[in-house]
Amino acid sequence: MEHMMCKFRVITPICFAVALIMGGVSTAGFAAKPISASAPASKSAAQGNVKHFVLRTNIADGRLVYEDERGNADPDLKVQVGDTVEIAIASKEGAEHDITFPDLKVESKRFSGASGPTTLRFVASRAGEFPYFCSVAGHKEAGMEGKLIVTAAGAQAPAPAPAAHGDVGGVEPASAHGGMDGHAMPMPIVYAASPAPALPAKADAVSIAGDPSAVPAPIGDRAPQTLKYRIETDEVTGKLDDGTTFTYWTFDKQVPGPMLRARVGDTVELTLANAPTSKMNHSIDLHAVMGGMGGGGDTQVAPGQQKTITFKPMHPGLYVYHCATPLVPEHIAAGMYGMILVEPQGGLPKVDKEYYVMQGEIYTNKPFGSHVHQQVDMAKLSAEQPEYYVFNGAVGSLTKTHKLVADVGQTVRVYFGVGGPNKMSSFHIIGGVFDTVYEEGSLSGVKHDVQTTIVPPGGAAIVEMKMQYPGKYMLVDHALTRAGKGLVGLLEVQGKADPVVYHVGAAQ
């Protein structure tokens, strides 16, 4: 996978454009006066001129940006005190966004591809430099921020730092660009930002916990074929814990996304569809794919659309896939990861049971165990301080919602991966020893008799264990504090106990 360093506080593995579209506006406060739709702005000394700016959202150097008509990213918007600022804004790609001037208490409504372009109007009533950005979680961090520079009437605006921002001085009518009507709307009051209140847990939340037994059938010793997969990205209100909900971003309404299975030499046609109800763009980067940034560069999909890629798996192994839309860590932490198994010619050795388990972290605004609807906390994500650690998406996913089961004498194989986005796993099963471990998901060599295997974020391992005694075996990350934050699974083994293997009491 190719990595790109982006200009924001959180470094993403790769950054691609997300569409930004706005409909409707709202302004208020002493620094930004609402303007009636029916009252055209005058050019009196008190109010000054009307300054028009035409912006759209786009991708620039691997980050999300506002872009002016000359292609300058996150441009400085220059006006004078008393000017009416009119910003006509649109997007090419359809995701939900806004534009916010927090110091002026000016904030647009959220907009999407369905709502079309819009125009934001307000009066700049005091001098200074005022930041603007997109307030959708993660988008400012992905690069969507600039400055409004307001100077006193007749004063010279300071020149922008070289190559940092584009200089926009546009005064063309907004109606001349892309159907932007240039009209204002009645504007309700917007108050100063305050911490997000705790929201009650959502009654309509559904389980997103991926079934660990949902493993495709083994490939076996077959010739190469053409395989067709279709995956839909959905934004789902899901159950994070008892009494706690969270808005997950998913592949096929589950975490992890569906396990894919192929063999070296197959041709895989993959269609990624983004649900019409989504607010964000989504994509897929498969670590097993050579070229196209793993597919992430060609699967940036707007709500209601779909894209198809075709690839040939060339290396056997177990590989992670994930969303590659900025802010990439945010999309992954919201649940957008899964795995693809590429078997070698002839397939893998047969076992009795196969399971699919992935570990991830969730960064929420309220502490672990809060009975609320949790929201993403971008500061915790940036600081790599998760509140929750989970197997298969949720607390209890592998202890209550689903369980791994086997009989004495059976060999169990677990396809294990770490979605992350940030924390590695010391994967361990309490009460057992791995007979075989394919480290880092590689099928080119094995280790035997392993107690704990290290799996990095974006990595995988295959572990096998012959069950020789009945009972409950716990799946954990041996960074054991994480068990208290949700990271526990259960493997239940049925059958007759052999006292030679284990018994309570003195030796017999």
**306 and 157, same structural domain?**
no
Integer Cα distance of 58 and 21 in angstroms: 11
Q: Say whether the peptide bond before residue 327 is cis (omega within 30 degrees of 0).
A: yes
Q: What pLDDT shows up at residue 157?
A: 52
Q: Which of 494, 485, 231, 206 is nearest to 368 (CA)?
A: 485
Asked if residue 365 belongs to a domain, the reply is: yes
Integer Cα distance of 134 and 19 in angstroms: 12
**10 and 141 in contact (C-beta within 8 Å)?**
yes
Altogether, the residues listed in the chain come to a count of 508
Integer Cα distance of 301 and 282 in angstroms: 5
Reduced 3-state DSSP string for 369-383 = CCCCEECECHHHHHH
Neighbours of 166 (CB within 10 A): 20
- Cα 249 to the center of its chain, rounded Å: 7
Asked if residue 321 belongs to a domain, the reply is: yes
Asked if residue 205 belongs to a domain, the reply is: no
**317 and 250, same structural domain?**
yes
Residue-range definition of the domain harbouring residue 386 = 226-494
**449 and 314, same structural domain?**
yes
For 50-97, give the DSSP string. Answer: EEEEEEEEEEETTEEEEE-TT--BSPEEEEETTPEEEEEEEESS--BB
**304 and 161, same structural domain?**
no
Residue 396 gets which letter from DSSP?
T
For 287-311, give the DSSP string. Answer: TT--SGGGGTTT--B-TT-EEEEEE
Residues in the chain predicted with pLDDT less than 50, given as ranges, are 1-47, 160-194
Q: What pLDDT shows up at residue 59?
A: 66
Neighbours of 306 (CB within 10 A): 15
- Cα 475 to the center of its chain, rounded Å: 26
Integer Cα distance of 184 and 41 in angstroms: 10
Asked if residue 83 belongs to a domain, the reply is: yes
Integer Cα distance of 254 and 357 in angstroms: 12
For 5-38, give the DSSP string. Answer: --SSSSPPS-------B---EEE-STTS----TT
**167 and 292, same structural domain?**
no
Render the burial of 127-158: b for 16+ CB within 10 Å, e for the rest. eeebebbbbbbbbbbbbbbbbbbbbeeeeeee
381 backbone dihedrals φ, ψ, rounded to 5°: -65, -45
For 158-190, give the DSSP string. Answer: PPPPTTTS-EE---S-GGGSTT-----------
**243 and 94, same structural domain?**
no
Give the CATH number, domain containing residue 39: 2.60.40.420
**230 and 147, same structural domain?**
no
Asked if residue 185 belongs to a domain, the reply is: no
Element (H, E) at 338: strand 337-343
Integer Cα distance of 311 and 292 in angstroms: 10
**245 and 205 in contact (C-beta within 8 Å)?**
yes
State how many domains the chain has: 2
Cβ within 8 Å of residue 349, ≥6 positions away:
none
Asked if residue 499 belongs to a domain, the reply is: no
- Which sign does the torsion angle of CA 276, 280, 285, 286 carry? negative
**230 and 161, same structural domain?**
no
**143 and 241, same structural domain?**
no
Domain boundary among 138, 160, 176: 176
pLDDT in tens, 408-462: 999 999 999 999 999 999 999 999 999 999 999 999 989 999 999 999 999 999 9
Q: Where are the beta strands (DSSP E) in 98-143?
A: 100-101, 106-108, 118-123, 128-133
- Which sign does the torsion angle of CA 396, 397, 398, 403 carry? positive
**37 and 185 in contact (C-beta within 8 Å)?**
yes
Residue 436 structure tokens: 């075989």
Asked if residue 76 belongs to a domain, the reply is: yes
The three-state secondary structure class of 468 is coil
Asked if residue 421 belongs to a domain, the reply is: yes
Q: What pLDDT shows up at residue 421?
A: 98
pLDDT in tens, 491-505: 999 999 999 999 999
Integer Cα distance of 233 and 336 in angstroms: 9
**270 and 357, same structural domain?**
yes
**329 and 122 in contact (C-beta within 8 Å)?**
no
Our CA dihedral for 36, 40, 44, 49, rounded to 10 degrees, sits at 100
pTM for this model (two decimals): 0.78
In the block, residue with structure tokens 């002493």: 30
Domain boundary among 111, 145, 176: 176
**418 and 280, same structural domain?**
yes
Cα angle: 260, vertex 263, 350; to 5 degrees: 85
Q: Say whether the peptide bond before residue 421 is cis (omega within 30 degrees of 0).
A: yes
Residue 122 structure tokens: 């307000």
Q: What pLDDT shows up at residue 60?
A: 67
Q: What pLDDT shows up at residue 17?
A: 32
Q: What pLDDT shows up at residue 335?
A: 99
Domain boundary among 176, 196, 212: 176
**260 and 323, same structural domain?**
yes
Cβ within 8 Å of residue 227, ≥6 positions away:
262, 266, 267, 268, 269
Our CA dihedral for 398, 400, 401, 407, rounded to 10 degrees, sits at 60
